Chains A and B, each alone.
Chain A
Amino acid sequence: MAGTPSTVRTNSRLIKWIDTRLPLFTFVQDAAIDYPEPRNLNYFWNFGSLAGTMLVIMITTGIFLAMQYTPHVDYAFSSVERLMRDVNYGWLLRYIHMNGASFFFIVVYIHIFRGYYYGSYKEPRELLWMLGVVILLLMMATAFFGYVLPWGQMSYWGATVITNLFTAIPVIGNPIHTWLLGGFAVGNPTLNRFFSLHYLLPFVIVGVVGLHLIALRQHGSNNPLGIAVKGPQDEIPFHPYYTIKDMFGLGVFLVIYAIFIFYLPNALGDPQNYIEANPLQTPPEIVPEWYLLPFYAILRSIPDKLIGVLALFASIFILFLLPWLDTSRVRSSYFRPIHKWVFWLLVIDVFALGTVGAHRPEGAYIVVGRIATFYYFFHFVILLPLIGWFERPLPLPESIAAAVTKKTAAAPGAAQSGAVS
C-alpha cells in the first residue's frame, strides 16, 4: 500500500486500516489529544468550548422544534402553544432552545471580554478575533429571526422596529425595507423568510466557527500571561489536562443552565410574547431580549434617526478595529497597570447601557444613556490608543514555565492561573 501508514496510537487493526484511508482518527489525535496548549490557561479559557457546545445544543433542539412549528401568521403562535401543551416534551425542547439563546450569549460575551482582557486580539491573532466578531453578528441575526417565530407581540413589534432601522438609509432605505419584509409591513412573507433564515444561519455559523478554529490553530491559544509559548516546557497536552478541565466547567455550566430550564424558564423572556401578535396595537413598551439591550440603548440615546442607527452598527463594528485601536504591545492586562482598571470601566459601561435599554427613555435614563453611549465610543477611540502610548507596562516574565513554577511576586499571573498546580 503506497503512502504513509497511520500513526494513530491504537492496537486495533480496523482503526489503523480506516485511518490509513480516511485519517479521522489522526485528526482527533492531533487536534484534541496531543494538541499542545499553554500550561497556564485559567477557567476563562473554558468559554470557547462552551460556546461550541451551545451551538450544538441550539441546532439539535432547533431541528426538532422545526418538526412541530408552522411558519404562517395564522398558525405560528398556536403551533408554539401546541408544542408547549400537546407535544411530548415539547415544553422541554422549547425551554432548552429559548434559554439556550440567552446562555449562548452569556458564554460568548464572557468569551469576548476574556479576549479583551488578555489581549487575545493582538498580532498575530487579528483575523481570529475578527472572525469572532462575524460570529457575534451572525448570532445576533439568528436570535433576532428566531425570536420572531413564536409570533407574539414582542416578536412582531421587535421585527417591525429592527427592520425599520434600514429605512434610515437615504434614498434606497425604503425599497430595501419593503424587499426585506416582502410586503409593506411585517407579515406572512416576512415570517416565512425569517424561518428560512433562522434555519440557515446557524449552519453558516458552523462554517465561520471552522475558520475561527483554523485561525486559532495557526498560532495556538493565547494565555493569561499574554506571552508567547517558547518551547515544550511551556505546554501540556490537551488530553487529559484540558479535556477534564473543560468537562468540569461544562458540568457547572449545565447545572446553572438546567436551573433556568426547569425552575425559571421564562425569567429571561418578556411576558408580552405570550400574547399573539396584533399589528394594530403596539405594546406599551418594546424591549428586545436582554442580550441586545446595550446596543438598543445606544440607538435610543441619540435623538436623530440616521445617527442613532449608525451608532448602533458602529458599536459592534468598532470591535473589528480593536486590534489596531489598542496600541499597547503588551497583551495581557496583568502587566498593564492602567488598562487593568479601565477594562472594568467598559464592563460597567456595558451594564449601564443594558439597564438603560430596558427602561423607557425618560428622566435619568436619558442622561445615563447618553453618558454611557459617549463613554463606549470614547473608550475605544480615544482612551485605548492613548493608554497604549502612556502606560508603562510591568516587566514580562521570561517564559510561561518560569512564571508558573516560580511562585514569587514576579509574575502576578502565576498565583491566579488555576490550570496547573
Chain B
Amino acid sequence: MADLAHGKPGAGTVPLADHAPTTRRDFLTVAGYAIAAVGAVCVAWPILDSMNPAADVLAAGAPVDIDLSRVQPGQQIVVLWRSRPIFVVNRTPELLKTLQDPRDISLLSDPNSTAPQQPEYATNWHRSIQPQYLVLVGICTHLGCIPSFMPQPNSVSPGWLGGYFCPCHGSRYDLSGRVYSGVPAPYNLPVPPYRFLSKTMIRIGENPPDGGDFSLESVEQI
C-alpha cells in the first residue's frame, strides 16, 4: 500500500479493483472524502452538542437541604432537585417490617438491589442510610411518570403491603422503591446521592464524606 501514497500506478501492488490499477487520483479521491467526512463531523458536533443541558441548567442542580423533623411518621414529602421530584418518607416500624416480609421479597424483581440504582451506602434491605428515612427519585423507571404513594395495606389490590403504584402503566414498587416483577418498569426506583448534615437535616445532591462519588449519571435507569 505504500506505493499508493507514492502514486506509482500498479507497480507491485494488488489492485483495489479487478480491472483498474490504483492510481494517485484514487488516493486523492479517498483522502478528499475522508477530509470532507471529518469536516462534516466537526460541523455537526457543536450543533448537536448545543442541544445538551446548558450551563445554567446544570448549575440549577445545586444540592437541596431538607429538615426531616417536618416529616411526620408515615408521611411522604416531595421536593424538587435537578427538576426531578424527590420522595422523602418517614417510615414507621410497621412499614419497615413489610420490607423483610418473605411475601414481599418473593414478589420483587430485584429484592437485593443488585442493579446499580442506588449508592453503595443505600445498597441494603431498607435502601437508605437510616432505615427510618427513605429518599428516592420519584420517577417511574418505566416511562417517567410519578408513582403514587399508597402506604395503606390493601389499598391498591387485595394483599397489597403498601408501596408505590404508577398510574400510567400500572407498575408497582414496595416501600423501599423495589419494583415488583410482572410490571413494565424494569428497575427499582433510584436513590439519589444524599447525606446527613445533622440528626434531622439531610442534603440531597451530596454523598457522605466516606460515601464515594455516586451520581445519578451512573444509575441504570431514571
Q: Are B80 and A160 in contact (CB under 8 A)?
A: no
* Chain B residues whose CB sits within 8 angstroms of the CB of A351 once the complex forms: none
The verdict on A282 contacting B167 (CB below 8 Å), with A161-B145, A183-B83 known, is: yes
Contact of B52 among A165, A182, A304, A362 (CB under 8 A): A182
B143: Cβ under 8 A from any A Cβ = yes
- Whether, in the assembled complex, B54 has its beta carbon less than 8 Å from a beta carbon of chain A, the answer is yes
B91 within 8 A of A: no
Q: Are B54 and A161 in contact (CB under 8 A)?
A: no
B142 interface residue (CB < 8 Å to A)? yes
Distance (whole angstroms) from the CB of A101 to the closest CB of chain B: 23
Per the bound structure, the CA–CA distance linking A163 and B139 in Å amounts to 13
Nearest chain B CB to A36's CB is how many angstroms away?
44
Contact with B along A336-366 (1 / 0, CB 8 A): 0000000000000000000000001110000
Determine which of A183, A189, A279, A306 lies in contact with B85 in the assembled complex, contact meaning CB atoms within 8 Å. A279
Of the 9-residue stretches B98-106, B112-120, B182-190, B205-213, which lies at the interface with chain A?
B182-190
Chain A residues with CB under 8 A of B80: 279-280
Contact stretch, chosen from A18-26, A172-180, A268-276:
A172-180
Tell me, yes or no, whether A147 is within 8 Å of chain B by CB: no
- A182 and B186 contacting across the interface, CB-CB below 8 Å: no
| A189 CA to B50 CA, complexed, in Å | 11
- State whether A280 and B167 are in contact (beta carbons under 8 Å apart), knowing that A174-B221, A303-B182 are contacts in the complex: no
Residues of B within 8 A of A283 (CB): 167
State whether the Cβ of B34 lies closer than 8 Å to any Cβ in chain A. no
Check B143–A160 contact: CB distance below 8 A.
yes
Q: B184 touches which one: A182, A187, A304 (CB < 8 A)? A: A304
Q: Is A167 an interface residue (CB 8 A)?
A: yes
**Is B44 located at the chain interface by the 8 A CB criterion?**
no
CB-based nearest B residue for A303: B184
Partner of A183, one of B57, B141, B148, B169: B57
Chain B residues positioned under 8 Å from A285 (CB to CB): 167-168
Check A193 for interface membership: any CB of B closer than 8 A: yes
Provide the bound-state CA to CA distance between A184 and B219, in Å. 14
Interface of B is mostly: loop
Which B residues are CB-close (under 8 A) to A160?
Answer: 143-145
Name B51's contact: one of A180, A281, A305 (CB within 8 Å): A180
Most buried by B among A157, A282, A308, A362: A282
Is there an interface contact between A178 and B144, defined as CB atoms closer than 8 Å? no
Contact of A280 among B53, B85, B217 (CB under 8 A): B85
- CB <8 Å contact, A361 and B169: yes
Cα–Cα, bound, A300→B171 (Å): 11
Interface range on chain A (Cβ under 8 Å from partner): 35 or more
**Hey, which chain A residues are within 8 Å of B184, CB to CB?**
300, 302-305, 308
Say whether B25 faces chain A, with CB atoms less than 8 Å apart: no
Give the number of residue pairs across the A-B interface with Cβ within 8 Å.
93
- Report whether B52 and A178 are in contact in the complex, using a CB–CB cutoff of 8 Å: yes
* A179 and B186 alpha carbons, distance in the complex (Å): 22
Q: How far is the CB of B71 from chain A (nearest CB, A)?
A: 17
CA distance in complex: A279, B169 (Å): 18
CB-CB < 8 A to A167: which residues of B? 144, 221-222
Other-chain residue from A174, A182, A302 in contact with B54 (beta carbon distance below 8 A): A182
Contact string, A376-412, partner B, CB cutoff 8 A, digits 1/0? 0000000000000000000000000000000000000
Residues of A within 8 A of B28 (CB): none
A189–B56 CA distance with the chains assembled, in angstroms? 11
Residue B201 is within 8 A (CB to CB) of chain A in the complex: no
Bound Cα distance A184, B143 (Å) = 14
CA distance A165 to B221 in the complex (A): 12
Are B168 and A286 interface neighbours, CB within 8 A? yes
Closest partner residue, chain A, to B141 (CB atom): A305
Does B97 touch A at the CB level, under 8 Å? no
Known: A189-B53, A286-B168. A303 touches B144 (CB 8 A): no
Q: Is the CB of B170 within 8 A of A178?
A: no
Q: Which of B84, B170, B222 is the one whose CB lies under 8 Å from A361?
A: B170
Give Cα distance in the complex from A135 to B146, angstroms: 33
Asked if A8 CB lies within 8 Å of chain B CBs, one says no
B11 an interface residue at 8 Å Cβ cutoff? Answer: no
What are the residues of chain A within 8 A of B222 when measuring CB–CB?
A: 167, 174, 184
**Given contact pairs A167-B221, A303-B183, A184 touches B53 in the complex (Cβ within 8 A):** yes
The reply to whether B167 and A281 form a contact with Cβ atoms under 8 Å apart is no
Contacts of B217 in A (CB 8 A): 174
Which residues of the partner chain A approach B167 to less than 8 Å between Cβ atoms?
282-286
* Chain B residues near A179 (CB-CB < 8 A): 48, 51-52
Q: Is B197 at the interface (CB under 8 A from chain A)?
A: no
- A362, B185: Cα distance in complex, Å: 16
Question: Does B24 sit within 8 A of A, measured CB to CB?
Answer: no
Chain B 177-200 near chain A by CB (<8 Å), digits 1 or 0? 000001111100000000000000
> Cβ of A193 and Cβ of B84 under 8 Å apart?
no
CB atoms of A157 and B57 under 8 A apart: no
Which B residue's beta carbon lies closest to that of A362? B170
Distance in angstroms between the alpha carbons of A418 and B145 in the assembled complex: 51
Q: How far is the CA of A187 from the CA of B80 in the complex (A)?
A: 13
- CA–CA, A110 to B53, complex, Å? 41
| Chain B residues within CB distance 8 Å of chain A | 48, 51-54, 57, 61, 78, 80, 82-85, 139, 141-146, 148, 166-170, 182-186, 217, 221-222
Q: What are 11 A-B pairs at a CB distance below 8 A?
A: A157-B168, A174-B217, A180-B51, A182-B52, A183-B57, A184-B53, A184-B57, A184-B61, A282-B148, A285-B167, A303-B183
List the interface of chain A (C-beta within 8 A of B): 157, 160-165, 167, 174, 178-180, 182-185, 187, 189, 193, 279-286, 300, 302-306, 308, 360-362
Instruction: Taking A174-B222, A306-B186 as given, write out 11 further A-B residue pairs in contact, using a Cβ cutoff of 8 Å, ordered by the A residue number.
Output: A163-B144, A182-B51, A184-B57, A184-B83, A189-B53, A189-B57, A282-B145, A302-B184, A305-B185, A361-B169, A362-B170
